Amino acid sequence: MRRLAATTLFAFSAASAASGPAQVIDCERAIDVRAGKLLGRTVLLVIDGRIADRAESIEALRTSPAFADHGLDPQSFQAIALPGHTCTPGWTDLHVHLSGEQNKESYSEGFRLNPADYALRGSVYAERTLQAGFTTVRDLGASDGIAISLRNAINSGWIEGPRMFVAGKSIATTGGHADPANGINARLTRALGYPGPEDGVVGGVEEARKAVRSRYKEGADLIKITATGGVLSYAKSADNPQFTLEEIQSVVNTARDYGFHVAAHAHGAEGMKRAIRAGVTTIEHGTYADDEVFRLMKAHATYLIPTLSAGAYVSDKAKDPTWFPAMVRPKAERVGAQIADTFAKAIKAGVPFAFGTDAGVSPHGQNAKEFALLVKAGATPMQALQAATITAAKILGESREQGALEVGMRADIVAVPGNPLEDISVTERVAFVMKDGVVHRAP
């Protein structure tokens, strides 16, 4: 392997901080996601967690005024050579649930485990996600403030994990997908109390508004609603509409007051149409979307988050009679098989889309498998990478902060062996991860 002159390849332990004020990342290739093209040798100067400059060689970088601006010696810096690798911006998964992971015991664990158990597991899932190259995630639903606490712990440096934007408790209608009382017998429900807006369960416009305000109170960054039935909930339908148009409008309008965007879980077409017309930012899954849904999404600039990984995973697990309850298994089989076909139609129709896996349904740390599934369904490798970088940053309102290897952006950098534009599966073999200028993984 080629060794680049005047550079040193450092071996790092997890989360090793920079040993000096300046770092240089020397990539054999890089992806310019904004221009949609592959660059040759790209050398990135990182100072104080930001990309301070970019050049085609270390020699050229030494003349950067950024060194003088920060009072640094251009002859003395930490350099990390990545020969044979392609650098991309850090990836974003817009649909995860770091507080849990689907398993054969999931439906009984809720009666046995404490919130602390889920939080401790979540700290492990967060590290796996970061190690896989995902420097940012959008967590779309967790009870008991677990995701919010994970976010805060990561931000404080107590645990390793991606940058988190969290929805807190998903907002559902009574008996709908994400109603925590589903599947519990009447005696237990009476003893525990019927969930209300504070618990993320609503009935009517006023309660919808109150539920959004409750998410703000608990510290959420955005809102997630379950506009239709779902696969894994202990209920019959996976796709029936569960909110009225007026209820979703109440959610969206209140969310805007607090600077939130709204993500809508939706499998059925009618629930999607109501959510899109009401002004949600993203449709999650989109399993049974039809041509009218596609037209509406394009007209309203609503993004589809297809979660192909979750669809493939539940479809496979539906073949195991011991994995899901009998009520859930046929839903998993039908929906899982449909998601990829619908996304293929959405691509041809020109529907805007972004990257999301629903990790927590599928295993954490395997998020990058979504890239190959997107390409298999009809996206180009560049579109798949853009979906996880600049497009995701736009949805989060972070376009000025992340999503591209550009001067002034957060130093979120991922390197993979080979060229992902020729073989997208190399995204599953991440060799280098930097988040905010801190190296979490290196060859």
What pLDDT does 170 receive?
Answer: 95
> Which of the residues in the chain have pLDDT under 70?
1-20, 189, 192-193, 234
b/e per residue, 134-162, with b = 16+ CB within 10 A? Answer: bbbbbbbbbbbbbbbbbbebbeeeebbbb
- The answer to whether 302 and 282 are in contact (CB under 8 A) is yes
What pLDDT does 193 receive?
Answer: 64
Can you tell me the distance from the alpha carbon of 302 to that of 366, in angstroms, rounded to the nearest whole number?
Answer: 26
The structure's pTM equals: 0.93
β partners of residue 29: 86
Q: What is the largest CA-CA distance in the chain?
A: 73
Output Rg (C-alpha) for the chain, integer angstroms: 22
Q: What share of the chain is helix, strand, coil (3-state, %, to 5)?
A: 35, 20, 45
Q: Residue 210's CB: how many other CB atoms inside 10 A? A: 16
* CATH 3.20.20.140 matches 91-396: yes
- The answer to whether 293 and 344 are in contact (CB under 8 A) is no
Beta-strand pair 303-305/134-139? unpaired
Average pLDDT, the chain: 91
Question: How confident is the model over 298-309, as pLDDT tens digits?
Answer: 999 999 999 999
Residues in the chain: 443
Q: Residue 316's CB: how many other CB atoms inside 10 A? A: 14
What residues does CATH 3.20.20.140 cover in the chain? Answer: 91-396
- The answer to whether 415 and 85 are in contact (CB under 8 A) is yes
What pLDDT does 2 receive?
Answer: 31
Beta-strand pair 37-39/50-55? unpaired
Alpha carbon 369 to chain centroid distance? 13
What residues does CATH 2.30.40.10 cover in the chain? Answer: 22-90+404-441
**106 membership: H or E segment, kind and range:** helix 106-112
CB neighbour list of residue 222: distance below 8 Å, 6 or more residues apart: 138, 165, 166, 167, 255, 260, 261, 262, 263
The class (CATH top level) of 22-90+404-441 is: mainly beta
What pLDDT does 192 receive?
Answer: 67
What pLDDT does 102 receive?
Answer: 86
Question: How confident is the model over 167-183, as pLDDT tens digits?
Answer: 999 999 988 787 777 77
